[in-house]
A and B are shown apart, each in its own frame.
Chain A
Amino acid sequence: AQSVSQHNHHVILSEAASLELGCNYSYGGTVNLFWYVQYPGQHLQLLLKYFSGDPLVKGIKGFEAEFIKSKFSFNLRKPSVQWSDTAEYFCAVMRGYNQGGKLIFGQGTELSVKP
């Protein structure tokens, strides 16, 4: 079955540290890839998405992600985190082309940034 795996359940960083959150998926066909963020008490917001083209995708708030097809990975990065980045981060995969838009989510990674 298709699955999405996020390696880290909980990450704790100090402000200004660099961030990389891992995401791997198991589906072998065409995929669309997403990272969503859920700040405490708020709804999910789209950070960035990859459909095609340049595998290095830049999103909002200084986040970026790199799609590596050979590794089935879509890791999220930020060079310098801030306290306000404390949130839950979800990787999601949508199978491409007429798959009804279904999103399969990873387990989520809780990021805590210490001031």
Chain B
Amino acid sequence: GAVVSQHPSRVICKSGTSVKIECRSLDFQATTMFWYRQFPKQSLMLMATSNEGSKATYEQGVEKDKFLINHASLTLSTLTVTSAHPEDSSFYICSAARGVSQETQYFGPGTRLLVL
């Protein structure tokens, strides 16, 4: 099956610093990747759609200057949380789309971010 990895799996940082999270599709090329945020005991909320070679598309209410997304290659998308604050602490999950119409998403294991 399709494999998607994320790095790091867990990160603790100080308030005001920036954190970069990587999402890689290991055995297929993904022109489209997605970034989600999951709060404890809640569902996944789509933050943005990452398109290889073009700007990301952000969902309403998500600050694009706060959550920088770069999709530099067909196997790598990065999410940078800039000037992180405690309220940014969450579980961030990426997915990579596969299929003729990009209709099936394969999810990474997630990154737990804790901002102190």
Contact = CB atoms under 8 A, between A and B. Distances in A.
16 contacts: A43-B4, A43-B93, A43-B108, A43-B110, A44-B95, A46-B104, A100-B57, A101-B97, A103-B46, A103-B95, A103-B105, A105-B43, A105-B44, A106-B43, A107-B42, A107-B43
Contacts of A100: 32, 49, 57
Contacts, number: 51
B67 interface: no
Among B57, B95, B103, the one with the most A-chain Cβ atoms within 10 Å of its Cβ is B103
B8 interface: no
Chain B interface helix/strand/loop/mixed: strand
Contacts of B109: 42-43
Interface in A54-81: none
A109 B11 CA distance: 27
Given A101-B34, A101-B103, A102-B49, 7 more contacts: A42-B109, A44-B107, A45-B107, A94-B103, A100-B32, A101-B102, A105-B45
A94 B4 CA distance: 20
A94 B32 CA distance: 15
B28 interface: no
Nearest to B59: A102
Interface string A75-115: 00000000000000010001000001111111110000000
The 7 closest A-B pairs by CB, nearest first: A44-B107, A43-B109, A105-B43, A101-B102, A105-B44, A107-B43, A43-B107
